[in-house]
Amino acid sequence: MDMNDLLKLLKEQHQLLHAFHDTIVLQQKVIINNDVKGLEETIKTEGALLINIELYEKHVEEVIKQLSDKYGIKNSSGKLSEFIDAIKVKREINSINLIKLQNSLQKMVTQTVRVNNQNKMLIDQARYFIKETIAALISKNRTSILDRKV
């Protein structure tokens, strides 16, 4: 294993994260459009992508541990950030591409978390509306569901 192998793995993981991000953006659209079939499909795709992302993450950790041993770096956790910090100290290892890729991965994760939180809010709001509608329908007071003040 060498640094190019790690870079290749991280680029593939970045592509998977990008596909995951695109999937949850699509999921947001199907939630808004009340497309149940589309939601089922995006959830299925999301699950498959998550499994692949986790597999890549484990493989990256293994490669980082191997490279840490190869370069004599103390990094028992297998975390990319610790590995990059350690290789910055060793001037003979070029870490510029690795740092750029790490920054890009962090941005992609941040964007994905943001969209995922928006999806959670949309789902919670939909649940609230459904609950309130059912409560209004079974209410003995027979209050109007729609505001008829026009």
- pLDDT tens-digit map of 96-112: 888 999 999 999 999 99
Q: What is the C-alpha to C-alpha distance for residues 67 and 120, in angstroms, rounded to an integer?
A: 39
Burial of 35 (0-12, 13-18, 19+ CB in 10 A): middle
Q: What is the C-alpha to C-alpha distance for residues 116 and 109, in angstroms, rounded to an integer?
A: 10
28: confidence class by pLDDT, cuts 50, 70, 90? very high
Residue 75 neighbours by CB distance under 10 Å: 21
First CA to last CA distance, the chain: 71
147: confidence class by pLDDT, cuts 50, 70, 90? low
Spans of all domains in the chain: 3-138
Q: Specify the pLDDT at position 136.
A: 78
What residues have CB less than 8 Å from 11, skipping those under 6 apart? 101
Yes or no: say if 145 and 133 are a contact pair by the CB < 8 Å rule: yes
The answer, yes or no, to whether residue 150 has pLDDT greater than 90, is no
Q: What is the C-alpha to C-alpha distance for residues 140 and 123, in angstroms, rounded to an integer?
A: 28
The answer, yes or no, to whether residue 95 has pLDDT greater than 60, is yes
CATH topology of domain 3-138: Methane Monooxygenase Hydroxylase; Chain G, domain 1 (1.20.58)
DSSP code at position 141: T
